Amino acid sequence: MERLQKVIAHAGIASRRKAEELILEGRVKVNGSVVKELGRKVTSSDRIEVDGVQIEGEEPVYFLFYKPRGVISSVQDDKGRKVVTDFFETIKERIYPVGRLDYDTSGLLLLTNDGEFANLLMHPSNEIDKVYVAKTKGIPTREKLTSLSRGIVLEDGKTAPAKTKLLSVDKKKDSAIVEITIHEGRNRQVRRMFEAIGHPVLKLKRERYGFLTLNGLRTGEIRELTHHEVKQLRVLAMKKS
């Protein structure tokens, strides 16, 4: 289910703010009844009319994007920085990212116009694995990596157990490459976890989301998910939720 104003915006009728005004002015009907509450949620089976004209919903689309560093995981930025949707200028649907990757983090990001699908994947009970590769300042000891595997206390609470693997070390540069697998989606979580053990992240990349990888893509490239992949993601999320 999605908020009514969001559905109207995605249909291209108006911006979300303008859609809210249309609702408050009594110009929107759901299944024949006028709705003036902004919190109203609707499904794809509901009939929505604006000024007596039924809106046509967009066909759902699903994309996998290899996000470069230095790009905002948003549809717009008030500072004029590059955003992920700048890479989708030929796509007519109003897509948005499923979750976020930090400005300085590269890697796998999903985008869609299917709010129900996005909410399912981002639900707090969702435990889909997200695999990152981090270059750290300093070389973490086995004990420090074990503390991440057990869960570590951050300012917003203790993290769920992570999986870690030391991939390589560079003693001359005093750095290491560590693979870490988490299923939570807190803000800057991986970076904060490594900072908590005294090894700040110098570079970070998300390499896998569930069963999806970046295979065949270069930074900044996009591919559409197959119907089977979308179905697999739904099944995976519903198993975990």
Catalytically active residues are 102
Distance in angstroms (rounded) separating the CA atoms of residues 82 and 177? 28
Residue spans of beta strands (DSSP E) within the chain: 2-3, 28-30, 33-34, 41-42, 48-50, 53-54, 62-67, 96-97, 105-112, 130-137, 153-154, 157-158, 163-170, 175-182, 201-209, 212-213, 222-224
Distance in angstroms (rounded) separating the CA atoms of residues 19 and 29? 12
State the chain's maximal CA–CA distance in angstroms. 71
Distance in angstroms (rounded) separating the CA atoms of residues 46 and 28? 12
Joined together, the tokens standing for residue 103 give 């400005």
Per the CB < 8 A criterion, the answer to whether 3 and 38 are in contact is yes
Per the CB < 8 A criterion, the answer to whether 122 and 109 are in contact is no
Per the CB < 8 A criterion, the answer to whether 153 and 100 are in contact is no
Joined together, the tokens standing for residue 134 give 């981090």
Neighbours of 118 (CB within 10 A): 20
Distance in angstroms (rounded) separating the CA atoms of residues 61 and 49? 23
